[in-house]
Structure 1
Amino acid sequence: MKKIIIVTLLFIAPIAVCFAQNSEEKDKKEIQKVLKKQRIAWSKNNIEEFMDGYWKSDSLKFYGANGITYGWENTLERYQKAYPTKDHTGILSFRINDISKISNEAYYVLGEYHIKREVGNADGIFMLVLKKIDGEWKIIADTSS
C-alpha cells in the first residue's frame, strides 16, 4: 500500500508543479494585457480608459512624489490635473522588469516608464500591486516616481 501511495505521489507531483507554472504564466500574460491596454489608452490621451486598470475603490492607493493619494476618484483627479492635455500625456512606453507572485490572487510588477511629449519627456520607475478582483486583474497600489 505504501508503494502505491509513493508511486502515486511521484506521478502527481510533477503534474501539480506543471499546472502551477502554467497558471502563473497565464496570470502574468493577463496582467501584461491590462498594462498594454493602459499604455494604449494613455497614449490616446484617454485617462478615464487608462483608469480601467485600477481598482475602482476608495481603498486604492497611489504613492508618488506628492505623497499618497487614496481612492480611485482622487487618483483620476490627480492624473487629470497633472496631465491636462495631449501635450502632457504624450506617448507612453514602459519596460516590465519583473512580475512576481505574492499570493494566488496577487502579484507585484516592477518597471520603468518613458513618456515622449511636447512639454518635455518624462522617465521614471514604478511598482504596482495587482489583485484579481471579480475575475479581473486590477491595480490596488501604485508607486511611481
Structure 2
Amino acid sequence: MRDILSISRLISGVIILITIGCSAPSKSDTQYIINELMKKQEVCWSSGDLECFMEPYWHSDSLKFIGRKGLTYGWQKTLENYKKSYPTAADMGKLTFTNLYIEQLSTDYVSVIGKWHLERSMGNLEGHYSLLWKRMGGQWKIISDHSS
C-alpha cells in the first residue's frame, strides 16, 4: 500500500511540475524577452545590418508597417523601404529604443509604445512607435509597426 501511495504522490508531483513548466510566461518574462529582442535590433541597425534588424518582424505578406509614407504590407516591402530610406551606415546612424509602455494583452499578444532615436553625424532623427507583437511557434514576432 505504501508503494502505491508513494507512486501516486510521485505522479502528482510530476504532473504539477509539467503544468508549471508548460504555463504561459509571466508578464515580467515576456517584457524581458521583448526588451532583449529590441536591444538586438538596436545592435543590428547600428551595425548597418537591416536583415538582422528585421528578424523579429513577421516574415509574411500580411505584416503591416505604417510610417510617414502610409501603410506598407509585407516583410520584403518593409525591408526594401528601409533600404531606400537608409542606404548607407551614415544614414542609419546609431539607433536607440526607449520603451515607454508594454502591455501584455493576452498570452500571445503584447503592445509596445515607445520612442526611437537615431544619432547621426548628418543630424539626429527621432519619433515614436507602436508595435503589436504576437507569439507564433514559441517566438515573438512584430505583426504591426506604426512608426512616426
Q: Normalized against structure 1, the TM-score is what?
A: 0.84
Runs of 4+ aligned structure 1 residues displaced above 6 Å come to: none
Q: Are 1:107 and 2:135 matched, yes or no?
A: no
| Residues 22-37 of structure 1: pairs in structure 2 closer than 5 A | 23-37=26-40
Equivalent residue for 2:48?
A: 45
Q: Deviations over 1:2-40 (max 9, x none)?
A: xxxxxxxxxxxxxxxxx87x6111111111111111011
Aligned-residue Cα RMSD (Å) equals: 1.5
Equivalent residue pairs, number: 127
The Cα of 1:119 is off from its aligned counterpart by: 2.4
Q: Which has the larger radius of gyration?
A: 2
Q: Give the superposition deviation at 1:50.
A: 0.2
- Which structure 2 residues correspond to residues 60-139 of structure 1 after superposition, within 5 A? 60-139=63-142
Identity of aligned residues (%): 44
User: How far apart, CA to CA, are the structure 1 residues paired with 2:125 and 2:74?
Assistant: 24
Normalising by structure 2, report the TM-score: 0.82
